Amino acid sequence: MKIRILLVDDDKNFRRVTALALEKAGYEVTTAIHGGEGLAVLERKAPDVILCDLNMPVMDGLTFLRELKRRSVEIPVVVITAYGSIESAVDAMQAGAFNFVTKPINRQELRLAIDRAADVWRLRKENRRLREKVSGGRAIDRLVGASDSMEHLRSTLSRLAESSVPVLITGESGTGKELVARALHYDGPRAEAGAFVVLNCAAVPGELLESLLFGHRKGAFTGANSDREGKFEAANGGTLFLDEIGDMPLDLQAKLLRVLQEGEIERIGDTTPRTIDVRVVSATNQPLVKRIEEGAFRQDLYYRLAVVPIEVPPLRERLDDLGELLHHFLVRHGAPDAMIPETTLEELKKRPWPGNVREAENLIMRVCALNPGFLSLDSALVQAQDGPQTSEPGLFDPKNIVLPEGGVPFEDVERGLLEAAWKQSGRNQTRGAKLLQMPRQAFSYRLQKFGIIPKHGSGDGPGA
């Protein structure tokens, strides 16, 4: 794989000549005219080495270096400084630069500095990946679920992450196909080599999809006011995730097939091919074989995309994972202490879950929004499904209470409420007080008053 360089220099002639010489020497070069533009490039792609002049308008080299450090960008920087400006080079080294070269540039020295910096970057990335493997910090391992189908999926992804073969991910809407694609990218070597870029083929009109994929030259069509990089170039070195690939127009499918075959793209309005190194991962919830029979999808493209097909199972086929998924979403949406009674979980397993994992997360989001501070998913689900508690008369609404003819001691009612809250909270005073909407001190006093906990004792269980 070519060493990728970001060259940041405001001198147009120097930038052109240096880029041309480096490309002839086998490097891949992207250019920027100042530090601000360089930062914008870094948001789209990750080079192996940054070459940066110190004296530039808008954002000079030292400011650029400090901003890289602030953003925790570890890519090595070789600064370019004028002959005799060694003090500036020292300042740059103190600001985090890896090395420096002086103008006029000795091309052999420049290539040597670039190669050394690239070697250091390669070792840094490899050490990081090794640390992640030792610590178990893989993205694949963060896919939620311990069912047999999820274990099989993780095993398959682990074998594929190190390769660059195209993968076609199938499955119903809401099963998590994009999460699977991200895991493939971030657990493989392309995570440090390039970006993970997403394009939803169903969300973009056909006439714009080509421009988004391949980019365009200024003036190529009405509204093309400047050159624009496409998704393939933005993902160079990394992964391009084409979601809803089954909705791509037929004419564009032919152009995508050519890119996969040749490893080159042409921007709209341009005749110069650009070499790209991109892993394509695609996804669909449609039966592509049926689409092929209908003439809506190219068979040759299908076999290019589906070198390895992966199916993500629907939630109804892995209900053993439901409890873990719900708890995962409770933590994500701010209710880590909420309990899921076993009876509630069993009832939820009877649902058809047509929206799959996305539907499960939406359920938890709705519960959390309607029931801030809730402690049991059981009672919160009732409110989330039947509307807010205030929309209908509640259990203790006066119209719903019928007292026996002989009356009832108020202390028995109070004791009953206290004991119910104490039990439901897991013997936790803070949670119990919330259930009865009273201060914790008042709840503790009443527990002691009725002998539910010893006087002057906390009475809190392990979850206090």
Q: Is the pLDDT of residue 278 over 90?
A: yes
Tokens read off for 121: 């970057």
pLDDT at 382: 59
Overall CATH class of domain 316-391: mainly alpha
* Average pLDDT over every residue of 144-172: 91
Contacts of 329 (CB under 8 A, 6+ apart): 360, 361, 364, 365
Which amino acid is it at 421?
A
pLDDT: which is higher, 413 or 178: 178
Phi and psi, residue 274, nearest 5°: -120, 125
- Least confident window among 1-15, 117-131, 315-329, 433-447: 117-131
pLDDT at 464: 36
What DSSP string describes 59-90? S-HHHHHHHHHHTT----EEEEEETT-HHHHH
Domain 4-132 and domain 158-312 have a common topology:
yes
How many residues in total does the chain contain?
Answer: 464
Which amino acid is it at 111?
R
* Cα separation, 84 vs 281, whole angstroms: 50
Q: Is the pLDDT of residue 99 over 90?
A: no
pLDDT at 385: 57
Domain boundaries, the chain: 4-132, 158-312, 316-391, 408-449
For residues 268 and 211, the answer to whether their CB atoms sit within 8 Å is yes
Q: Is the pLDDT of residue 154 over 50?
A: yes
- Could you tell me the CATH superfamily of domain 4-132? Response regulator (3.40.50.2300)
Q: Which of 137-141, 393-397, 401-405 has the highest mean pLDDT?
A: 137-141
CATH no., domain 408-449: 1.10.10
Q: Where are the alpha helices (DSSP H) in 244-355?
A: 250-262, 288-293, 299-305, 322-332, 342-349
CATH no., domain 158-312: 3.40.50.300
Average confidence score pLDDT of the chain: 83
Q: Which of 201-205, 207-211, 262-266 has the highest mean pLDDT?
A: 262-266
